[in-house]
Amino acid sequence: MPTLLLVEDNEMNRDMLSRRLERKGYRVLTAADGAEGVTMASQAAPDLVLMDMNLPVLDGWEATRRLKASQATLPIIGLTAHAMAGDREKCLAAGCDDYDTKPVDFQRLLGKIERLLGRGP
């Protein structure tokens, strides 16, 4: 069972998404801010990180850079409510392997997770 780390400060979003992912067979760990996410990723060794980019304490941009500096092969999907031109490129430049917008389209996100884990097309 692959382990996902969901770094999300909004409790309702965190709970809803983690429950849906667990129903799809994933083990889901959660963190409420970027600093906690970096710590958890180094301790728990998840298979993939779902990173909100607008986080308290340490934002998702810097948390992603730190994770990639220490765990270069760890797949990270940036999640953001920003859907402006250039936001995808900004996420990828920070080190994200993919990007998705909020509100989350669960089937689209699931496809990205499965692709990055080598379980889908």
Q: Establish if 84 belongs to a structural domain.
A: yes
Q: 39: domain range?
A: 3-116
Q: Does any domain span residue 23?
A: yes
Q: Is residue 121 part of a domain?
A: no
Question: Are 63 and 7 a contacting pair, CB within 8 Å?
Answer: yes
Q: Token pair for residue 23? A: 């129903």
Give the model confidence (pLDDT) of 95-120 as tens digits: 999 999 888 999 999 999 999 999 86
- If one counts the domains in the chain, the total is 1
pLDDT in tens, 55-77: 999 999 999 999 999 999 999 99
**Residue 87, in any domain of the structure:** yes
Q: Is residue 57 included in any domain, yes or no?
A: yes
CATH value at residue 96? 3.40.50.2300
- As a whole number of angstroms, the distance between CA 92 and CA 95 comes to 5
